[in-house]
Amino acid sequence: MRCLSVTEAADLLGGLGFSILSQSGRNSLRLRSGIVSAQARTQGSPPIACWLSDFAAALIRWHTNDGARLLWIDHWGDLIQSAQAFVMAARVGLGETRSLSEAPGHYFDPHPYNKRYPPDVSAAHAQELSVMIGFIVAMIVNQWDGWLIDTNSTERIEFWEGNVLFYSADKKHLAASQSILDGFGCDPKMQ
C-alpha cells in the first residue's frame, strides 16, 4: 500500500472521469455527471459486527477484475478516535508519515482479489488485503465517508455515515452487490 495526495489521486483517476473537490477541509471524490447519470445504485446498512471483516472482503471482491484498488477517506471526524489511531499507526508502519488530510488515498497494488487464502495469495497480497479490510471496518464502524474504487473502472462503493452504497451501470454487477447485502443481512434502509 502507498498513500496518495489529492494531486496524485487526481492524476491516477482523472482519465476515468474522477475529480477531487476540496471544500471545507474535505477532499471529496467526484465523478463526471454523464457517467453518474448512467449508473444506478444499491445500498444498505452494514451487517452485525461479527461479520464486518468478511463483509469488507466481499466489498473488495465486488470489483470484478484484478486491478489496483484505491480506498479514499474523505471524512473521518474531528475527534481523535481509536480507529483513527489504528489507521495512522498502520500507515506509519508502512512508511507513510503524512496526515490523512495530506494523503487521503490508499493505493493497493493489483492482485487476484477474488482469492483470499494461502497458497493462492502472495505475502504482499495478504498484507494489502488485511490492511484494506482493517481500514474498511474502521470506516464503517466510525461512520467515516469515503470510496473504494477499482482503478480501472468507474464502478464504486461509497461509505457514507456508516452505510454502504454500490454504483454501477451494469445490472448484473448491481445484482451481485444486492446479493452481498442480502447475504450479510444488511438492511436496505440506511441508518
pLDDT tens by residue, 44-64: 999 999 999 999 999 999 997
Percent of all residues in the chain with a pLDDT value above 70, rounded to a whole number: 97
The pLDDT of residue 79 is above 80 = no
Q: Considering Cα of 52, then 60, then 99, then 102, what sign does the dihedral take?
A: negative
What is residue 168's predicted lDDT score, i.e. its pLDDT?
96
Q: Quick one: pLDDT band at residue 78, thresholds 50, 70, 90?
A: low
CB neighbours of 80 closer than 8 A, spacing ≥ 6? Answer: none
For the residues 95-107, what does the mean pLDDT come to?
A: 93
- CB-based contact 72:104 (threshold 8 Å): yes
The residue-averaged pLDDT of 74-84 equals: 73
Average the pLDDT over 16-29 and give the result. 87
Q: What are phi and psi of 148, to 5 degrees?
A: -120, 120
Which DSSP state fits 168? E
- The per-residue pLDDT for 80 is 60
- What mean pLDDT, rounded, does the chain reach? 90
Query: Residue 67's pLDDT band (boundaries 50, 70, 90)?
Result: confident
- Residue 86 CB contacts under 8 Å (≥ 6 apart), including other chains: 134, 138
Query: Tell me: the pLDDT tens digits for 113-166?
Result: 888 777 778 888 889 999 999 999 999 998 999 999 999 999 999 999 989 999
Residue holding cell 493505493?
107
- pLDDT band for position 83 (50/70/90)? confident
Q: pLDDT value at position 72?
A: 96
Residue 17: per-residue pLDDT: 92
Do 186 and 47 form a contact (C-beta atoms < 8 A)?
A: yes
Q: Looking at residues 182-191, what average pLDDT do you find?
A: 86
Number of Cα atoms under 13 Å in the Cβ half of residue 23: 6
According to the model, what pLDDT value does residue 60 have? 95
The model scores a pTM over 0.85: yes
Which grid coordinates belong to 99? 496526515
Other C-beta atoms closer than 10 Å to the C-beta of 25 total 9
| Closest CA relative to residue 2, chosen from 116, 157, 128 | 128
User: Are the beta carbons of 163 and 20 closer than 8 angstroms?
Assistant: no
Question: Which residues make beta-bridge pairs with 29?
Answer: 20
Tell me if residue 17 falls in helix, strand or coil: coil
CB of 76 closer than 8 Å to CB of 26: no
CA-nearest of 168, 184, 173 to 46 is 184
